[in-house]
Amino acid sequence: MDKLFEGLDEDSNLSVREMKSRFLAYDVEKKLKEDEVQSQMAQMTAMLKNLTSGTASGTSVPPKGFHQVNHDYPKNTSPMPLINHSGNVPHFDGTHFPFWKSSMESHIRSCSVELWEIIVDGYRKPQDPIRLTSTEFYNRQLNASARDKIRSGINRKLLDQVNDIDSAKELWDRIVVLQEGTDLIQSALYESAKTEATMFMIRQGESVADAYGRLGALRVKVKGLGCEKYNDGFEMNEAFIKSKVIAMIAVKQKDTNLALNLQIITKSADLNADDLVSYVAANENMAKTGERLMAMNRVDEASHNLALKARADYEREEDYEIEEDEEMTSTSDIATDFAFFAKKYKTKLPIFFNEKKKKRTSPSTTDAAPSLATATRRFSTLDNAASHQAEHRGDLMEPTNVKFYQLGNGGDLIFERDLDALSDFLGRPHPEFHGVEVNDQQGGELQWVITADLRGKMEPPTSERILFSFRESNWLDGLARALQEALARLCGQNEAAIQGERFAHLARRDSDGEPMGLPFHPELRHHVDHLDFMLFQTQKELDNSRAYANQTHMALAHHADAIKLLAKDRKSLRLQRAKKDATIERLRARIASLEATVKGQEDQLNEMDEDGEDIQGGEAFLSDDEDFEEDEFTDEEDYEFLEDREDEIIPINVDENDKE
């Protein structure tokens, strides 16, 4: 527009042609500028469309005018989380899968919580892999990182079975199924753990703290099996743990009143299961410390009293055997003290003093008891025995029958040939099995303790020894179970050595007797593993049921003994009551007799009163009359009474009126 009027003033005259040319040039320039602006607008519109899909609100940009562009820019709503380095990934060697599972979860959570969430929730593949949102981009990276950590923590055999899985969630779930089984097996595991928790009780010879540790491990096991997904109302909460701890205290301390008091205290005060166990542990420590101090005081007092007694005997006999006493040294004095100590405790602990009693006639070294070294050694043994005698008194088991069985003698028991052949193949000695029948549980059925001893190979390369034991109702059943479990454990220990042999696909267990997750059989698939797993669970449930039955039998036996004592006390009380009743009857009869006697005497007195004469109403005087002596005797009688005492006669004036 400025060029159109350039050079024009008031006096200038332009022709029409010049004016047209100027207007045409202006129109062309204007058209070029408009085309340039339109092209720039088209480019900006395309760019804004691409940005509109990533905005938070998703609003479109108006195509006209830069002043109408919405200032709602894209936001980074899901930033990439920071993945911490928490050391090496826990490695799974094929055993103790629950422990590795919990360790792996803890490790991944420590690296990043979002990393574990992508394993639990899963990763969804984007619909448009080319145009990823920030959330999809970060989730893809988290899935790759989680998958890499899981793959780094498993062994080669397990990795070969899950190598084609891309999703971290699917990879984790597949590993859990391969190791813990399907939902059916997990349900069976949960039911078994729930039964074990319901029938949980302290074992014989186990402390409350150790039993509480087993209960805590069982709680973690039940929680790891996913108790919340079954929704059957069973939960090992704080109240359940408290009830089990109180029951353990009642059995261990043999004091139901203590358990009842603790139950009342837990309801009134804010005490948890840890406080109860700590209370019992502190109580036991204080009791043991007190018993130890009392034992030490008794030993010191006994030795001091024995020394005084020996010294007194020595002084009494000194007058008779002076020469022999002069030859005794300080060593013989100490030996004498220990001799009297042994003499006192010989009847209480005969296991340490087996000598016959000898009468001591003199304090000489010839008839004194053992030497100083022997007496000192016995004193040390006695001190240790005194501190542990009460503790071990209830744990002694008297064997009533002993059995022994060794393979390699041509026997034909179940699993015997396979176990013997496998032992020969591995170059191990023939397995040995011991059985001891004990009577330590009144009324119990598990009276046989079966021990399996699979000694290792002595020549290099050596192998580890397998030793385990359990309880069974009889010798033959226990031997059959020991053969089966020994074969399974031996196969599990030598997994690499039996590859390609006929023992390769036998049901195997680790050194602790737990089923192992191994490659399935080419024809039977997982059927053998499932059968071995079900056998293991059945044996475990049977052991728990038998242990519970034994505890019930023992409790019934204690109740029967208590009932017998109560019946005896009742009989004694009845006899005492009968005696008291008889005594009361005799006393009542005596009282009735006395009452009859008293009544008879009262009647007799009443009759005598009625038949008697009132002499007090006449002129006679009673003996209690004050004027009796004065009126009764006359003057002459008074003089006669005093005739021998003339010097003491006191004249009495008697009036005539008084005489009348």
In a domain, residue 242? The reply is no
Give SS3 for 466.
Answer: strand
In a domain, residue 384? The reply is yes
| Residues 112 and 49 both lie in one domain | no
| Residues 373 and 404 both lie in one domain | no
In a domain, residue 444? The reply is yes
| Residues 381 and 409 both lie in one domain | no
Residue type, 120: V
In a domain, residue 10? The reply is no
| Residues 385 and 486 both lie in one domain | no
d(CA 491, CA 423) in angstroms, rounded, equals 10
pLDDT tens by residue, 303-350: 555 555 555 555 555 554 545 444 444 444 545 554 555 555 455 444
In a domain, residue 375? The reply is yes
Which of 180, 213, 244 terminates a domain? The answer is 180
In a domain, residue 118? The reply is yes
Could you list the residue range(s) of the whole structural domain that residue 308 is in? 286-392
Helix (H) or strand (E) holding 468: strand 466-472
| Residues 169 and 304 both lie in one domain | no
Average pLDDT rounded to a whole number, residues 19-32 = 79
| Residues 490 and 551 both lie in one domain | yes
Burial class (CB in 10 A: 0-12, 13-18, 19+), 266: buried
Give pairs for 230-237: CB < 8 Å, separation 24+.
230/187, 230/190, 234/194, 236/197
**Structure token digits, residue 185:** 């097996």
| Residues 158 and 24 both lie in one domain | no
d(CA 92, CA 90) in angstroms, rounded, equals 7
The pLDDT of residue 366: 40
| Residues 362 and 486 both lie in one domain | no
Q: Is pLDDT at 582 greater than 90 in this prediction?
A: yes
Which of 392, 415, 431 terminates a domain? The answer is 392
| Residues 365 and 508 both lie in one domain | no
| Residues 427 and 538 both lie in one domain | yes
pLDDT tens by residue, 214-247: 888 888 888 777 766 667 778 788 888 878 887 7
In a domain, residue 644? The reply is no
The pLDDT of residue 525: 62
| Domain count across the chain | 4
In a domain, residue 621? The reply is no
Which of 392, 418, 444 terminates a domain? The answer is 392
* 452-196-269 Cα angle (round to 5): 130
CB contact set of 161 (below 8 Å; sequence gap of 6+): 174, 178
| Residues 128 and 176 both lie in one domain | yes
The pLDDT of residue 660: 45
Torsion of CA 363, 367, 371, 376, to 10 degrees: -60
The pLDDT of residue 618: 53
Q: Give yes or no for a contact between 507 and 530, defined as CB atoms under 8 angstroms apart.
A: no
pLDDT above 70 as % of the chain: 59
Phi then psi for 370, rounded to 5 degrees? -55, 170
The pLDDT of residue 309: 57
| Residues 369 and 417 both lie in one domain | no
pLDDT tens by residue, 394-452: 444 555 688 889 888 877 888 888 888 888 888 889 899 999 887 765 555 667 889 99
CA 165, 170, 176, 178 torsion: positive or negative?
Answer: negative
